[in-house]
Structure 1
Amino acid sequence: MRTVIFDLDGTLADTSGDLVAAANHCFRGLGLGDLLDAQRDAATALRGGRAMLRLGFSRVTGFEEDEVDRQYPVLLAAYAEDIHTHTTLYPGAMDAVEQLRSNGYAVGIATNKPEGLAEALMTSLGVRDVFGSLIGADTLPVRKPDPEHHFEAVRRAGGDPQRSLLVGDTATDRDTSRNAGVPSVLVTFGPGRDDVLALDPEATINHYTELGPVVTRLIG
């Protein structure tokens, strides 16, 4: 079965506000105040918790890399406690997913967010059951950009890895698709549009209304 696998953060949903809030919780606990701004630092937030911590600590003196590792579990716990106050699905995302399913495609999720958090988020947003699979950062011994992360998401969705593509928003997603030998479709409506265009994917979309025809062109 033809299969479309989606990244989560920055692709299906804008999670940056809640991620930044969790990082700022860590900084406040250290007496540093809010070091990150939800709008200005959205692109970094979508690259993960450690990236946010490093950015915040770069704005003060006296903190070393070890502090990132110490604070990362604190960040995850804070994020789990308040996972979707600011998070929203991108306009048209679920309409596009449902249209793919209606047209006979399997759909799944491959994310470098920890599986438990990804499951909790998609469930809280009321859309987990739409996807045939969800592979998180800790589901397998490997994670994106290892191609097995993508392949397993396809297999668990009931699809054929050789007739699949990956929808994402970062260099990690582009590298994953290249390693897997499948096309990538990168979204340009997030905070890193110029960076996305420089990755030279097989296709980009500016809105989810464009996804269906692009998928048909790339994998039939």
Structure 2
Amino acid sequence: MPTVIFDLDGTLADTSGDLIAAANACFGALGFGAPLKPKADAATAFQGGRAMLRKGFERVNGRADEALIEAQFPLFLRQYEAAIDVHTQLYPGVREAMDRLRSAGVRLGVCTNKPERLAEILLTRLGVRGLFGALVGADTLPVRKPDPAPYRAAVNGAGGQMGRSVLVGDTVTDRETARAAGVPCVLVTFGPAGQGVADLKPEGLLDHYDDLEAVLAPLLG
């Protein structure tokens, strides 16, 4: 069966607003205000909680204390879970594209570096969890992307085969994951990097989910 595995943050949904709000809540509690900006720092948001905390501390302190980042990370997760879908939205055409692929017999899954529990909550709140046969998060296995093991687990969980699978993502992490797994990679161009993701030389570029099948067709065989 052909199988398509999707990253979550920055690929299926724009989660940057809620991620940055959670990080800024940590800084606010420390008396640092809100050093991160939803639009300007969206790319950092898609790199994860620690990346946002690191950038924020660099701005307010001139340096990032890794011990302080680790101390704040659990608070970040609690803040994020409490307001996980205030600003977050699926990218245009996602639901319709998933329905079309499923109708064509394509197996679908999600492989994300978001903690599995939070990914489960978010996809459920967005009303699309039932569209994916597998969900592998940052803590599902002892390793995370770009290690290929989570991708393989997502393909297997969706009932697919590695040889007929594609990873759709938005960052260098997804590109490296696909390369390590030996599968084609499609990168979306509607994230903060825009057409700049072409520099990562993925096998395909996706400008809109309306075009998903046309981009996937030559890669799935």
What TM-score do you get using the length of structure 2 for normalisation?
0.97
Q: Corresponding residue for 1:16?
A: 16
Query: For residues 23-44 of structure 1, what are the alpha-carbon distances to aligned partners after superposition, in whole Å with 9 as ceiling and x for unaligned?
Result: 0000001000011111111111
Q: Corresponding residue for 2:219?
A: 218
Q: Matches of 2:194 and 2:161 in 1, distance apart?
A: 30
| Correspondence 1:30-69 to 2 at 5 A | 30-61=30-61, 64-69=65-70
Q: Matches of 2:196 and 2:56 in 1, distance apart?
A: 21
Q: Matches of 1:219 and 1:64 in 2, distance apart?
A: 45
Offset of 1:195 from its aligned partner? 3.6
Q: Corresponding residue for 1:114?
A: 115
Q: Matches of 1:138 and 1:61 in 2, distance apart?
A: 30
| Matching of residue 173 in structure 1 with residue 174 in structure 2 | yes
| Correspondence 1:55-204 to 2 at 5 A | 55-61=55-61, 64-204=65-205
Q: Which runs of 5+ in 1 are unaligned?
A: none
Matched to 2:122, the amino acid is: L
Q: Matches of 2:82 and 2:60 in 1, distance apart?
A: 27
Q: Matches of 1:209 and 1:161 in 2, distance apart?
A: 25
Q: Matches of 1:192 and 1:176 in 2, distance apart?
A: 18
Query: Does the residue aligned with 1:58 lie in a helix, a strand or coil?
Result: helix
Q: Matches of 2:65 and 2:141 in 1, distance apart?
A: 30
Query: Does the residue aligned with 1:134 lie in a helix, a strand or coil?
Result: strand
Q: Matches of 2:148 and 2:95 in 1, distance apart?
A: 25
Query: Does the residue aligned with 1:137 lie in a helix, a strand or coil?
Result: coil
% same residue: 59
Q: Matches of 1:25 and 1:204 in 2, distance apart?
A: 35
Offset of 1:192 from its aligned partner? 1.1
Q: What is the Cα-based RMSD across aligned positions, in Å?
A: 1.0
Q: How many residues align?
A: 220
Q: Matches of 2:176 and 2:216 in 1, distance apart?
A: 19
Offset of 1:209 from its aligned partner? 1.1
Query: Does the residue aligned with 1:19 lie in a helix, a strand or coil?
Result: helix
Q: Matches of 1:47 and 1:169 in 2, distance apart?
A: 10
Q: Matches of 2:97 and 2:130 in 1, distance apart?
A: 15
Offset of 1:214 from its aligned partner? 1.5
Q: Matches of 1:195 and 1:120 in 2, distance apart?
A: 31
Runs of 4+ in 1 over 6 A off after TM superposition: none
Offset of 1:8 from its aligned partner? 0.1
